[in-house]
Amino acid sequence: NVEPRSVPVFPWHSLVPFLAPTQSD
């Protein structure tokens, strides 16, 4: 008997590069 393995679920924002440039103001 094989136990079902939980499938990892990733949040949508982890796929998007977080580019936070320094604000000049």
Partner 1 sequence: PPSSSTVVPPSLPPYFIKGSIIQLADGELKRVEDLKTEDFIQSAEISSELKIDSSTVERIEGSHTSPNFAVVQFSVGEHRAQVSVEVLVEYPFFVFGQGWSSCCPDRTTQLLELPCTKLSVGDVCISLTLKNLR
Please list every residue from 3 through 22 that binds partner 1, using CB under 8 A. Answer: 7-22
Q: Compare residues 1 and 8 and give the one whose CB is closer to partner 1.
A: 8
d(CA 17, CA 23): 18
Q: Compare residues 2 and 19 and give the one whose CB is closer to partner 1.
A: 19
Shortest distance, position 4 Cβ to partner 1, whole Å: 14
d(CA 16, CA 6): 24
Handedness of CA 11, 16, 22, 24 (dihedral sign): negative
> Applying CB under 8 A, which residues contact partner 1?
7-24
